[in-house]
A and B are shown apart, each in its own frame.
Chain A
Amino acid sequence: MDEKDLELLRILEENSRLSADEISIMTKLSTADVESRVHALEAAQVIKRYSTVINWERAGNGEVSAVIELKVSPERDYGYDRIAERLSRFRQVKTLRLMTGTYDLQLVVTGKNMQEVSRFVSEHVAPMDRIRETATHIIMKSYKENGHTLFEQQEAERLPYSF
C-alpha cells in the first residue's frame, strides 16, 4: 500500500464508476497500472465492493431504518464475535458494530415499515441468547450518509470572471 494506492482509494470512494482510462489520465499512472492496483486492492479485500449512495427518502419507497443498541453478555473464548456474526447474517441488518460505552453492539436495521422493524427486533433480535437489553431508535431523517450530504445546498454565487 503506497501513496498511489491511497489516491486510487480516495478517487474510487468518491466515484467508483470512473473508468481505468479516466483514472489513468487524472493520476498519471498507466491504465494497466491502475487496473493491476485496483485488482490487488480488491484481492486484499481493501476494496470490499462498489456501491451507490442512494437517498431512499427521495426514492419514495417508504423504508424505515432504525439504530438498535444491544447490551450483550460476552461468551467465554469468543467474546462478542459469535453473536455478532449471527446477527449480521440477517438481511435486515445493514450495519453492525461493537462499541465502547453504555451498550455493546450497534445495529442499523432497515425494513419496509415500522411494523416490520419492530417485529424483527422483538422476534429475532431480543430473544437471542446473551442479549440482555435492546433500545430501538427509529431514524426520522438522514442528513448525511458516508460523507455525502443528502439535503439540497444552494449554489454559492460566483462572478463569471475574476482575476
Chain B
Amino acid sequence: MRNFVSERANKIPPSGIRKFFDLALSMDNVISLGVGEPDFRTPWNICESSIYSIEQGNTSYTSNKGLPSLRDALSWYLGQHYNLPYTSSDEIIITSGVSEGLDIAIRSVIDPGDEVAIAQPSYVSYAPCVTLSGGRPVPVRCTEEDHFKLNPDALQEQITPKTKALIINFPNNPTGAVMNGSDLKAIADIVIDKDILLISDEVYAELTYEGTHVAAATVSDLWERTITLNGFSKAYAMTGWRVGYLCAPKELCDAALKIHQYIMLCAPVMGQVGALEALRSAEEDKNSMVNEYRLRRNMFVAGLNRIGLTCHVPEGAFYAFPSVKETGLSEVEFAERLLKEQKVAVVPGSVFGDGGEDHLRCAYAVSRKDLTEALGRMETFISGL
C-alpha cells in the first residue's frame, strides 16, 4: 500500500508535549497550570439563552457570515470598546473559534513560497497553519529583556522581499506580554513601509490588567492592511462553544469568507446565540472574572519571584512566564521532573517556539487555593535540586 499521508501533513511536527499529557492523565492529585482556558464556568445567563434558543427550535445553519444580530452587536461593541470601525454587513465573519479564523485568514492571503513572520514565543498553531498554506513561517524572537514585546529591529531583520504577512498576538500566549500604542506604532511603521499584511490575534484583549487594550488596526494606517482575530473563549469562559470572529476590510473579508463557507459553512448556531447574550448581558460577569485573574496574577507572580523563579509581570492574558535559568535545569527537564516529583503540570516554554527556551508557561486560571498549593510544591521541588 502507498503511504497516503500528504507531504504537507508530514511536514507538521508532532506536539512536543504528548508524553507530558499522557503522564499527567495517569497521575492523581495533579495541579495543572498547563491549561490555556478559564477555570470559570460560562456565566449562566449565556448558557440559559442558548438552551432556550434550542428549545425554540433554532438549530439550523445561519448565514455564512454568522447571525446578523450577532454581527450588529459585535460591530457596535468593537466600535465602543476598541475604536474599531468594522461594518456588520461586510467586514465581520463569525468563525468556529479563533482557530478557524486564523486558518482562513492565512489561507486567504498566503501562496506557496510566501514568508510569514511570526512573533514568538507564540500560540502553537500559527506556524503549522502557515506551513499548511504552503508558506514558510519565519520566527521573530521576542526576548525577556524586551518583556517579550515584539522588537522592531528584530522584526526588520527577518523581513525579506518574500515576506507577505506578520502574525502577532498581544496580550500574548504564552508570555502575557502587551504592546501599547507606541510599541505598536513602531511595528506599524515597518509593516507599512515593507507593504506587508498584519494578522493580529487579540483573543486576550479583554484580559488586559494595566491600562486599556490597543487594537492593532487602530494604529497609524494599519486598518486597511490588518486582519483582526478575536473570540469569546477567554473573556467569557466560553472555550467549548467555539465562537470567534474575523474582521477585515471588505476585500480581505470576502476572500476569507470564500474559504469559510466551504470548510465550515457557519459557526454553530447555539454558540452564536450564546455569544450574542454574552455581549448583551455578561459585562459584569466578565469584569469580575478579569478582576479575579488580576488578583491571582499579582499573588502568583510575587510567589514565583519569592521562590526563585524570576518572572516579569505579565500585563495581560492569564499566563506567567518565569525563567528556570537559575535552577540549572532546562525548561523540559524542569517541567518533566516537576510533574513526576511534585505533581504540578506546567508547559515548557520551548513548545511555543523561539524565545521560549529556559522558560515555563504557567496558567494562573486556577483557584487561588490551587495556586498557593502549586507554589508550595514548586518551592519544595526547587529546594531539593
Question: Could you tell me which A residues sit within 8 Å of B by CB distance?
Answer: 7, 10-11, 22, 25-28, 156, 158-163
Q: A161 and B17 in contact (CB under 8 A), knowing A7-B291, A156-B41? A: yes
Determine how close the nearest CB of chain A comes to the CB of B188; give it in whole angstroms.
28
A161 to B25, CA, bound (A): 10
Tell which of A10, A25, A156, A162 touches B34, judged by Cβ atoms closer than 8 Å: A162
Tell which of A11, A28, A160 touches B35, judged by Cβ atoms closer than 8 Å: A160
A28 touches B291 (CB 8 A): no
Does residue B173 face the partner (Cβ distance < 8 Å to A)?
Answer: yes
Tell which of B25, B123, B295 touches A160, judged by Cβ atoms closer than 8 Å: B25
Contacts of A160 in B (CB 8 A): 21, 24-25, 30, 32, 34-35, 345
Determine how close the nearest CB of chain B comes to the CB of A100; give it in whole angstroms.
24
Contacts of B17 in A (CB 8 A): 161
Q: With CB as the reference atom, state the residue of chain A lying closest to B37.
A: A162
Tell which of B34, B39, B299, B302 touches A161, judged by Cβ atoms closer than 8 Å: B34
Determine how close the nearest CB of chain B comes to the CB of A98; give it in whole angstroms.
27
Tell which of B30, B36, B288, B302 touches A163, judged by Cβ atoms closer than 8 Å: B36
Contacts of A10 in B (CB 8 A): 288, 291
Q: With CB as the reference atom, state the residue of chain B lying closest to A162.
A: B36
Contacts of B34 in A (CB 8 A): 160-162
Does residue B347 face the partner (Cβ distance < 8 Å to A)?
Answer: yes
A163 touches B32 (CB 8 A): no
Q: With CB as the reference atom, state the residue of chain A lying closest to B361.
A: A163
Does residue B77 face the partner (Cβ distance < 8 Å to A)?
Answer: no
Minimum-distance CB pairs A-B, first 3: A160-B24, A161-B34, A26-B295
A159 to B298, CA, bound (A): 25
B345 touches A163 (CB 8 A): no
A26 to B20, CA, bound (A): 31
A11 to B296, CA, bound (A): 12
Does residue B382 face the partner (Cβ distance < 8 Å to A)?
Answer: no
Does residue B154 face the partner (Cβ distance < 8 Å to A)?
Answer: no
Given contacts A7-B291, A22-B299, 11 further A-B contacts (CB under 8 A): A25-B298, A25-B299, A27-B298, A158-B32, A158-B39, A159-B35, A160-B25, A161-B34, A161-B347, A162-B37, A163-B347
A158 touches B35 (CB 8 A): yes
A156 to B365, CA, bound (A): 14
* Interface size, chain B (Cβ < 8 Å): 28
Does residue B124 face the partner (Cβ distance < 8 Å to A)?
Answer: yes
Tell which of A22, A25, A158, A163 touches B123, judged by Cβ atoms closer than 8 Å: A163
| A-B contacts, 24 listed (Cβ < 8 Å) | A25-B302, A26-B299, A27-B295, A27-B298, A28-B298, A156-B41, A158-B35, A158-B37, A159-B21, A160-B21, A160-B25, A160-B30, A160-B32, A160-B345, A161-B17, A161-B24, A161-B32, A161-B34, A161-B35, A162-B35, A162-B36, A162-B37, A163-B125, A163-B173
A108 to B35, CA, bound (A): 44
Contacts of A161 in B (CB 8 A): 17, 20-21, 24, 32, 34-35, 345, 347
Q: With CB as the reference atom, state the residue of chain B lying closest to A156.
A: B41
Contacts of B123 in A (CB 8 A): 163
Q: A26 and B298 in contact (CB under 8 A), knowing A10-B291, A161-B20, A161-B32? A: yes
Q: Among A7, A10, A22, A26, which residue has the most Cβ atoms of chain B within 10 A?
A: A26
Determine how close the nearest CB of chain A comes to the CB of B86; give it in whole angstroms.
27
* 8 Å CB interface, B268-304 against A: 288, 291, 295-296, 298-299, 302
* 8 Å CB interface, B353-374 against A: none
Contacts of A162 in B (CB 8 A): 34-37, 239
* 8 Å CB interface, B154-182 against A: 173
Contacts of B291 in A (CB 8 A): 7, 10
A28 to B315, CA, bound (A): 14
Contacts of A7 in B (CB 8 A): 291
Q: With CB as the reference atom, state the residue of chain A lying closest to B239.
A: A162
* 8 Å CB interface, B21-80 against A: 21, 24-25, 30, 32, 34-37, 39, 41
Determine how close the nearest CB of chain A comes to the CB of B99; give it in whole angstroms.
10
Determine how close the nearest CB of chain A comes to the CB of B193; give it in whole angstroms.
33
Determine how close the nearest CB of chain A comes to the CB of B302; give it in whole angstroms.
5
Contacts of A22 in B (CB 8 A): 299
Scan B103-146; emit 1 where CB is below 8 A from any A CB, else 0: 00000000000000000000111000000000000000000000
Q: With CB as the reference atom, state the residue of chain B lying closest to A10.
A: B291
Determine how close the nearest CB of chain A comes to the CB of B289; give it in whole angstroms.
12
Contacts of A28 in B (CB 8 A): 298
A10 to B239, CA, bound (A): 26
